[in-house]
A and B are shown apart, each in its own frame.
Chain A
Amino acid sequence: LGFERFGKFGYVSQTKVAQMVSFLEKDQLPATRCKKCKTLHFPPRADCQNCRNPSVDWVTLDGSCTLITFTEVHFAPPQFQADVPYLLGLAELKEGPRVFAPVDSNISRPTLRLGIHMVLRVVRRSGDGVYYQLQK
């Protein structure tokens, strides 16, 4: 269960939150919640930032969110050059935390407006990779 399977191209393979991948494979959006102070962490953290408690529970998120900002990338790092141009977005989830994610390439640029409602959904890439994406 390697974390390098997360994303369009994974750089990091080893982490305490590698379990995230198995949630995504079940089409679930995972977050962690501190067992002690109940702070919600997304992206998931193994250690609570609020009270430093290193013990968390896995929970799932709804995916509803609001678009804060975006860009269309035309000049990409080597592993992503076949995909240009592609959209990257920042959104605020209904539960509070923010998410940085690719935006569905089927969405036409002119319909993207800051403040619109979007949904974070799980998508798969070729091979055994899995990640999430902002969709309409």
Chain B
Amino acid sequence: VAIIGVGHSKFGKRSDASLRELAFEAYNDAINDAEVEPSRIDGSVVCSATHYDKQRSPAGVVAEYLGLNPEPTFNVEAACASSAVGLRTAWALISSGLHDIVAVVGVQKMTELSSEEIQELMGRAGDVMWESPFGTTMPAYYAMYATAHMSRYGTSEEDMALVTVKNRKYGSKNPNAMFQRPVTVEEVLKSRIVSSPLKLFDCCANADGAACLVLANSEQAKKLSDRPVWVAGLGLASSPMALAGRKGPMTSFEVSKNAAKAAYEMARIKPSDVDVAEVHDSFSITEILNYEDLGFAKPGRGPMLLRKHETELGGSIPVNVDGGLLAKGHPVGATGASQLFTIVKQLRGEAGDLQVDGAKVGLAQNIGGIGMYSGVSLLKA
């Protein structure tokens, strides 16, 4: 199975566009990119965390607006990892022989919710029976991992700030990113506390946006495309939603380690073979944990990669050189497809100023919610 076309809308506060219109921007871009007749698409998978959408069951209107009726369509939801699950779903639909060419549309419209509505949703991000009744928030959960990592390994707030500074630097070169202005370590450290030790600039922002992937079976991919990007490995895992249900010192995500293991095994490659990676930087600390969970650094050594600039362009493993969630914004359902968009562009050598020279193997990692889902996808040129 190969990705033969990718598309991306501008991410950010898109008060000019509805959910279906955002989906259209990414889809149209992907169809033009794939140079495929839209009538050849025989199914669509719409990825969104539907509790953010005004429209119930959004696959209905999205497929209608994109002109994909009467072919099958449905929604997949795994919170922030919805698109990783969408890719896996499309891969399975195609590998089974049921479908030949499938569109995966990641889309989210978040900014038209009032801040009251957003905060109410945020309060129920965790286990609603045993943890939400104490006033949990999404940042609070990740902050607890940060506290543990700092205590065990001596990771500092400056180390975390380096993630934001790096990603905002690259975001300023990505026209699709929500934030176009680079920030300094000092600005990150001075931003207001959200949930200690995480400050405002350690956190990604809610956004509107869409990204789209067109997938085809190998026969069609070879026929239709002169630059297909192949799905080499897929890993997806789950973890208890309750923080209290997880084991260990809370300095890593078991769920990501499990997903990575499955993806590396399927692709028969090791972490050092990866040339470029997109990892889920919902918070600065998350990117550091991801370096370790994906095998780019040993446990506790993630901050060393940042201090030595190894995850920047020119380093041994460039990560989030499109700005990541911290600069692009995080339209939940679209984020995973946006990561894959970037990896496809990189592997085709079409990433412009942000190109990693000679990139042949790319990785995208997408965490869902507070770490109950994680997907790792490996692509090859």
Instruction: State whether A71 touches B196 (Cβ < 8 A).
Output: yes
Instruction: State whether B136 touches A12 (Cβ < 8 A).
Output: no
Instruction: State whether B135 touches A90 (Cβ < 8 A).
Output: no
Instruction: State whether A73 touches B135 (Cβ < 8 A).
Output: yes
* A94–chain B nearest beta-carbon distance, Å: 15
**With A and B bound together, what is the CA distance between A76 and B197 in angstroms?**
15
Which of A43, A99, A131 neighbours the largest number of chain B CB atoms within 10 Å of its CB?
A43
Binds A, one of B19-27, B115-123, B347-355: B115-123
Instruction: State whether A114 touches B195 (Cβ < 8 A).
Output: no
Beta-carbon nearest neighbor of B151 in chain A: A114
> How many A-B Cβ pairs are below 8 Å?
115
B132 at the interface (CB under 8 A from A): yes
Interface string of B101-140 (1 = CB under 8 A from A): 0000000000000001001101110011111111111011
Known A-B contacts A12-B128, A100-B243; the reply to A75 vs B195 at CB < 8 A is: yes
Instruction: State whether B137 touches A76 (Cβ < 8 A).
Output: yes
Binds B, one of A2-10, A30-38, A53-61: A2-10
**With A and B bound together, what is the CA distance between A79 and B133 in angstroms?**
9
B267 at the interface (CB under 8 A from A): no
**With A and B bound together, what is the CA distance between A7 and B130 in angstroms?**
8
**With A and B bound together, what is the CA distance between A8 and B131 in angstroms?**
10
**With A and B bound together, what is the CA distance between A131 and B75 in angstroms?**
38
* B353–chain A nearest beta-carbon distance, Å: 35
Interface string of A90-111 (1 = CB under 8 A from B): 1000000111111000000000
- Residues from chain A with Cβ under 8 Å of B180 in the complex: none
- Residues from chain A with Cβ under 8 Å of B249 in the complex: 68
**With A and B bound together, what is the CA distance between A75 and B196 in angstroms?**
10
Instruction: State whether B137 touches A114 (Cβ < 8 A).
Output: no
Instruction: State whether B195 touches A86 (Cβ < 8 A).
Output: no
Instruction: State whether B194 touches A131 (Cβ < 8 A).
Output: no
**With A and B bound together, what is the CA distance between A18 and B151 in angstroms?**
37
Instruction: State whether A73 touches B119 (Cβ < 8 A).
Output: no
Q: List 7 A-B contacts (CB under 8 A).
A: A11-B129, A12-B129, A71-B144, A75-B194, A83-B135, A97-B244, A100-B242
Query: Residues of B with Cβ closer than 8 Å to A?
Result: 116, 119-120, 122-124, 127-137, 139-140, 143-148, 151-152, 192-198, 242-246, 249-250
